[in-house]
Chains A and B, each alone.
Chain A
Amino acid sequence: MKNLLILLSAAALLILSSCKDSTPTPTPVVVDQLKISIQPTFGPMNLNLDQTYVTAEGYNLQYTDIRFYVTSLSYNSKELCQAALFDYRENGTSFITQPGKPADFPSLNGFFGVDLAYNHDDPTVWPTTSPLNIIVANDMHWDWNPGYIFLKVEAKVDTLNDGVDNFNHYVVFHVGGDNLLQSVELSGYNWSQVSQGVFQLPLKLDMQKFLQNGAQTIDVKSEHSSHSMVGEEELSSKVIQNLKDALSPL
């Protein structure tokens, strides 16, 4: 009887102690956050989608979609971000948020478009949060071949300067394909601290420069459609170069 009682008490103790919440609270590791944002502009003005801007040719133009990929963004061999998708309509100006230290990334190199190393991979295998995952990429992917659509710029234009609004001329640029992949470099910036442990690099994307890149201009009346197909090489390459050149530290 006594033995039984001892046994029971021991058992009780065991059961009781086994059921208590035993996850130790981890000591929080403080990691700095690096954020890159992109503000689209039209010359000196901040740009909004669906709002009218006047081109050098005098057309009224409304951008309806601005999206692009940047991949393998690194300094030397240290990678800040494997893949990022800028999507002005869905995500506004936010672009990249990654753990990292400002001192590790005094300048950045990468690709404007999707790195050859990933462009033809199975788009379903990426983690569900990766911009390369087909559900996130959504319509930024054609097919395994030619792969991802590196950029989409879409707009509606009123080409007649007659005082009557008629935005019935559509601009559709969908550019991709390994041959059109561009390297991109960002330098001459400073990470600015926005709060405890959070550092920001604000960039701008000048959509006026996109149309008017020095001598390399796009006249949307005649140059309004590219799907990077055979025969569209010249316009496709101008589109991706101009968009890349439109991106710079704010």
Chain B
Amino acid sequence: MKYLFAIFCIVVIFISCRKDVIGHIPTPYELEIPSHFPSMVIPENNPMTKEGVDLGRMLFYEERLSGDNSMSCASCHSPENSFSDPNQFSTGINGIQGNRNSMALINLGWQKFFFWDGRAKSLEDQILEPVPNPIEMHQEWGDAVVKLEQDVEYRNMFFKAFGEKGIDSTKVSKAIAQFIRTMISGSSKFDVMYKFENSLPLNGNDQAILSSISPEEWAGYDLFKSLTGADCLHCHSGILMHINKFSNNGLDATFTDIGRGAITGNPNEIGRFKIPTLRNIALTAPYMHDGRFGTLDEVIEHYSSQLVSSPTIDPLMEHLSSGGVQLDSQEKDLLKKFLFTLTDYDFISNPDFQDPNK
């Protein structure tokens, strides 16, 4: 009788709610978006879930994604450098170097294109690249998936994150994309300055930070925004500290790496690169697509006096004819002080973003 009852129950549940029983329903993940940020558009085919984010974080630090099990995403996107690489060029598992500087992973959920040349249109697409790339992790996706499938913990985590059995590259990229969307930086000194100047409510902690902001930092901010000062606002503006655009900021007269031009084939786009965010900029040296500048002083000198003309230079580099915005040494110092306010220590030390196995 007892058995009959049990079998009966199982059969009923099975035929009635079939799809729900075979799968597992992941828990929706509530993104913590700072109050002064816009809402984030999440792709319909990759909703944020707690299990997905946890899995993505594991995978981000997973060295088995590389051919010789020695390299993870974090090897070139390390937390203490705001998820970038302190080396000018990162070295892949075979000792080969690329010709581009690794990019800091900050607030990417609001971006529309990825890589210095914007060749990936979504985070999910972007993440498919580094694993098979011969100068990076150099491993066929098929081999990476086999390694993950051998691990029962991964089999379970994928099942819980996607509600079905099986692992493939699409699921790996979806999970990592979910993790990267949680990597939000919005609690630097600059954020308090932004809220204060726009009369947005400040909490107790913000108030304390506000009183620590020096007159030089405020003066540097004014200079940063002023069209007759450092004129950075044209390209590195707003709460995200960049606009979505490709631009040539006057680094070279001719180009060995033609950037966006190689993707579109449009001669007007030769030498244009993605305008990067300036958040956490003090932590992400070296600078520019090829990491040519080791310090912020060199970057400031570039914009101040070393602009180089080329046919595709951004017309917004309006001080080109005089070589740059011509800052004196005091102004350079103020500007640098402001750039330091963009550092968000809470972001880089956030336990949710660290290696889960440490």
- Chain A residues packing against B (C-beta within 8 Å): 8, 11-12, 15-16, 18-19, 50, 64, 122-126, 128, 133-135, 138-139, 141-144, 154, 156, 167-168, 170-172, 225, 227, 229
CB-defined A-B contacts under 8 Å, sample of 22: A11-B12, A12-B8, A15-B13, A16-B12, A124-B36, A125-B38, A126-B38, A133-B38, A134-B239, A135-B110, A135-B244, A138-B244, A139-B243, A142-B233, A142-B237, A144-B197, A144-B198, A167-B311, A170-B315, A171-B315, A225-B318, A227-B227
Shortest beta-carbon distance from B9 to chain A in Å? 8
B152 adjacent to chain A (CB < 8 Å): no
Given A122-B198, A172-B318: A135 in contact with B38 (beta carbons within 8 A):
yes
Give B223 Cβ to nearest chain A Cβ, in Å: 14
Task: Please state if B227 and A229 are interface contacts (CB–CB under 8 Å).
Answer: yes
Which of A11, A122, A125, A172 is in CB contact (< 8 Å) with B316?
A: A172
Give the nearest-CB partner of A16 in chain B. Answer: B16
Contact B318 A15 (CB under 8 A): no
Structural contact, B315 and A156, CB atoms closer than 8 A: yes
Contact A50 B38 (CB under 8 A): no
Beyond A135-B110, A154-B315, list 6 extra A-B contacts (CB 8 Å).
A122-B36, A128-B38, A128-B39, A134-B38, A134-B239, A143-B225
Q: Lowest 10 A-B CB distances belong to which pairs?
A: A170-B315, A124-B38, A139-B243, A19-B16, A19-B17, A16-B16, A12-B12, A144-B198, A15-B16, A128-B41
Assess whether B255 is interfacial by the CB under 8 Å rule: no
- Does chain A have a CB within 8 A of B234? yes
Residues of chain A within 8 A (CB-CB) of B47 are: none
- Using CB atoms, name the residue of chain B closest to A50: B268
- Chain B residue numbers with a CB within 8 Å of A133 are 38
> Is the Cβ of A141 less than 8 Å from the Cβ of B13?
no
**Complexed CA–CA distance, A204 and B243 (Å):** 29
**A125 to chain B: closest residue by CB:** B38
Residues in B with CB closer than 8 Å to A124 are 36-39, 239
Which secondary structure characterizes the binding site on chain B?
A: loop
Interface residues of B (CB under 8 A from A): 5, 8, 12-13, 15-17, 20, 36-39, 41, 110, 197-198, 200, 225, 227-228, 233-235, 237-239, 243-245, 268, 311, 315-316, 318
Residues of B within 8 A of A12 (CB): 8, 12, 16
Smallest Cβ distance from B244 to chain A, in angstroms? 5
**A12 to B9 alpha-carbon distance, docked (Å):** 8
- Contact between A172 and B237, CB atoms less than 8 A apart: no
B315 to chain A, nearest CB (A): 4
Are B17 and A8 interface neighbours, CB within 8 A? no
Among candidates A11, A16, A122, residue contacting B200 with C-beta atoms closer than 8 Å: A122
CB-based nearest B residue for A155: B315
Bound Cα distance A11, B318 (Å): 76
Closest Cβ–Cβ distance, residue B321 to chain A (whole Å): 10
Nearest CB in chain B: distance from A116 CB, A: 17
Instruction: State how many angstroms separate the Cβ of B81 from the closest Cβ of chain A.
Output: 26
Instruction: Return B317 CB to nearest CB of chain A, in Å.
Output: 9
Alpha-carbon distance between A64 and B155 when the two chains are bound, in angstroms: 52
From B245, which residue of chain A is reached at the shortest CB distance? A139
Which residues from chain A contact B200 at a C-beta distance below 8 Å? 122
A134 touching B238 by the CB < 8 A rule?
Answer: yes
Given A135-B110, A225-B318, A229-B227, residue A141 in contact with residue B16 (CB < 8 A): no
Chain A hits for B110, CB < 8 A:
135
Q: Contact check, A139 vs B16: say whether CB atoms are below 8 A apart.
A: no
Q: Which residue of A lies closest to B13 (CB)?
A: A15
Name the A residues within 8 Å of B243 (CB-CB): 138-139
Return B15 CB to nearest CB of chain A, in Å. 8
Which residues of chain A come closer than 8 Å to B316, judged between CB atoms?
Answer: 172
Report the bound CA distance from A240 to B217 in whole Å: 36
Among residues of A, the one whose C-beta sits closest to the C-beta of B37 is A124
Q: Which residue of A lies closest to B317 (CB)?
A: A170
Contacts of A16 in B (CB 8 A): 12, 15-16
User: Do A8 and B8 have beta carbons less than 8 Å apart?
Assistant: yes
* Residues A139 and B198 in contact, CB atoms below 8 Å apart: no
Question: In the complex, A15→B36 CA distance in Å?
Answer: 46
In the assembled complex, the Cα of A170 lies from the Cα of B311 at a distance in Å of 11
CA A11 – CA B16 in complex, angstroms?
12
Give complex CA distance A8, B110 in Å. 52
Q: How far is the CA of A64 from the CA of B315 in the complex (A)?
A: 10
Residues of A within 8 A of B239 (CB): 124, 134
A64 partner residues in chain B, CB cutoff 8 A: 268, 315
Interface residue from B12, B227, B233 paired with A15 (Cβ < 8 Å):
B12
Q: A139 is contacted by which of B15, B228, B234 (Cβ under 8 Å)?
A: B234
Nearest residue in B to A141 (C-beta to C-beta)? B238
Beta-carbon nearest neighbor of B1 in chain A = A1
Most buried by A among B12, B110, B234, B244: B12
Residue of B238, B239, B243, B316 most packed against chain A (CB within 10 A):
B238
